[in-house]
Chain A
Amino acid sequence: MKSPASASWKAPLKFRMPTAENLIPIRLDIEVDGQRYKDAFTWNPYDPDSEVVMFAKRTVKDLKLAPGFLPQIVQSIQSQLATFRSYEGQDMYVGDKIIPIKLDLQVNHTVIRDQFLWDLNNFDSDPEEFARTLCKDLGIEDPEVGPAVAFAIREQLYEIAIQNVTSARENRISKKGRRAAEHFTPSKASGAALDLMKLFSFRSSVVRKRKEWDYYKPVLDLLSNEEVDALEAKEERSGR
């Protein structure tokens, strides 16, 4: 794979998650015999393959699912892993990209909505660490929120990374060549990628304007049981 960007000032990198740990988000949503199993967690793609089967077995055993779940879980995880691996060898362009990451989750009784900026170039970033700190700072007692937050962040980062790879491929195909690096910032819409220049120019300060404060503040709600049930029912209806 020739990389025409060797002349550009942004060297392409091999595809990977832009985080310190190259972990991928895995989402499972399987229905067998009327039992529905939804789950989301992070996975280390460098674990041996036997790990997948073992994990599936333990999950089925721990959650007392029907044994028909086992092959489906294994298959789902493996296909997501395969997708990841297919992207792995390819190049991806990362410019100076700071993206907003949005959280909008409901985990058991906790609803959390938040938005913050994330530097894609920072390959030492750690969504897990962020999630842990967030939960600690907000005083969230439900321990399941942390992993959900980390997963959401990772999922969004993964999406963007994939888009980077596909856009790089497209650009190469359409022979835009070395101009690909500069071109794709505004055209890739994963929420507007903010221009570094505009944000941190010498005229504006780093401190956020007051009117944007509410926009970037985390909102935490604790629901009562009825509200949880209502939400679930609404979701099921919309799903159907």
Chain B
Amino acid sequence: MAEKSPVKEAASSESIPISNSNQLKPSPQLPSKFSSQTAPNSEVPSTPTSRPPSADADVVYVPSYSRWFSWDKIDSCESRFLPEFFDGRSASKGPSLYIYYRNSIIKLFRENPSRKITFTDVRKTLVGDVGSIRRVFDFLDHWGLINYSASSALSKPSKDTGSNIKSSDSPSVESPSSAAPTSKHSSNSRRICGACKSLCTIACFVCDKYDSTLCARCYVRGNFRVGLSNADFRRVEITDEAKADWSEKETLLLLEAIMHYGDDWKKVAQHVGGRTDKDCVAHFVKLPFGEEYLGHPLSNDDESGFETNKRMCLTPLADASNPIMAQAAFLSALAGVEIAEAAAQAAVSVLSQVDDITASRVGSGSLERNSKQETEISSNGDTNQNALERAAYADANSLLDKEEQDIERAITGITEVQMKEIQDKFLRFEEMDLQTEKERQQLESMKNLLFIDQLNLSFRRNYT
């Protein structure tokens, strides 16, 4: 019953068609959890509009962290998670048995990929003891090689308005946010006990040898695999924050609050609402800044980098102010600096024909963020329309310049820090090098001494 349908992987936006005969090399990748598809119209394998039309009904999706899977080979992560088959304790329970179980389970699932296959279906058809079958089944389930129908893996489209991009989006309950990949990351996803499959709350125990996680109860009861002892586990605390991932809205609020209040974490926590100040600090520190948004500061994408920064700065702020200004800020952020300038100029000139204070404020307010300056300009607007135009324009320009300078300074600061890091690393490596050299010399001298001793001994023996 050789499977002939091509298996497609759901990478971020391209699909890699894989036929079953030529496999990818089984590299033990760190399973980072990508959201499966960002194209929203490819939910059902049988009617994808963006996929190639060949073999629509036979397409099976496999998450990209399971890319190592191959019909004929056993990957190192398999031998790690299911050691019972590979430690040679029993002659009949070997890798070939594991391959038989695994392949039959996957074949059974792929006969009808839209239907979730249950463990009971599987164990009724497989010859063997149900305990090991269940373990293989759970392993495949966690790694998305079975029961990974597209409907169960929701994808949150990553917002590109510069809001925080965390790689652990929280998908629906059924998708495999499993203990296996998360025990490798120290990310904020849930920890699930490997033995009893319950959510770990207060503390859990992690075994690094086999990369398994056990809840406190299972650890105390001794429900781990044969071959492990108490000493192999280390305790890992899980705070309450780990149970509740930060949603995008909360991170937005957090950034906004930080912009406003700076270092006053109490106010920040208030603004975010629902998080203590310590949580906010911890989360803020963990946010991936800098590298994510600046990219290569020396590339041509300077402007876009700056703009995303600005977007980040502008949009949260814009939310706080009145809606018209929010709109204008948003539009100007989207449009770009020069365009916004030009638009503002045009708007101001048009509006100057209308003797309206609020209108002029909007025109100039779209380019600045400081409320003090706002009142200044509005007061100017009271007096003279021409002066208003010029003042607005000049102010806008100066503000832009200042901002650019700020950003440049920030970037240089960051690059300096990074260079210092690298330098430190170099120093450390040199030290290590010296040390190893010294050790080597020591060993050499010891070797020589031993040789001399040996010679002495053999001489003495010859004489006696």
Contacts and interface: CB of A to CB of B under 8 A. Distances in A.
A39 to B, nearest CB: 8
Interface string B314-347: 0000000000000000000000000000000000
Interface string B114-131: 000011110111111111
Given A41-B123, A143-B125, A55 B130 contact: yes
A21 B129 contact: yes
B132 interface: yes
A144 B126 CA distance: 7
Contact of B92 (A21, A47, A63): A21
Most buried by A among B90, B124, B196: B124
B313 interface: no
Interface size class of A (residues with CB under 8 A): 20 to 34
B221 interface: yes
A47 B196 contact: no
Given A44-B129, A146-B126, A149-B127, 10 more contacts: A43-B131, A48-B221, A50-B195, A50-B221, A58-B120, A128-B92, A132-B100, A146-B125, A147-B124, A147-B125
Contact of A23 (B100, B129, B134): B129
B130 A42 contact: yes
A48 B195 contact: yes
Contacts of B134: 51, 54-55, 58
A62 B223 contact: no
A144 B125 CA distance: 4
B124 to A, nearest CB: 5
B130 A43 contact: yes
Interface in B206-243: 218, 221-223, 226
A62 B195 contact: no
Given A50-B195, A124-B91, A62 B118 contact: yes
Nearest to A149: B127
Nearest to B134: A55
Given A20-B91, A50-B195, A54-B197, A128 B127 contact: yes
Contacts of B124: 143-144, 147
Interface size class of B (residues with CB under 8 A): 20 to 34
A53 to B, nearest CB: 8
**When A and B form their complex, which 8 residue pairs have the shortest distance between CB atoms, in order from nearest?**
A143-B125, A62-B118, A62-B120, A47-B131, A20-B92, A146-B127, A44-B131, A48-B223
Interface in A26-80: 41-44, 46-51, 54-55, 58-59, 61-63
A124 B93 CA distance: 11
B120 A50 contact: no
A128 B94 CA distance: 13
A94 interface: no
B125 A126 contact: no
A92 interface: no
B116 to A, nearest CB: 10
9 contacts: A42-B129, A43-B129, A44-B131, A44-B132, A48-B221, A48-B223, A50-B195, A62-B119, A147-B126
Nearest to B84: A44
A20 B129 CA distance: 12
B131 to A, nearest CB: 4
A59 B120 contact: yes
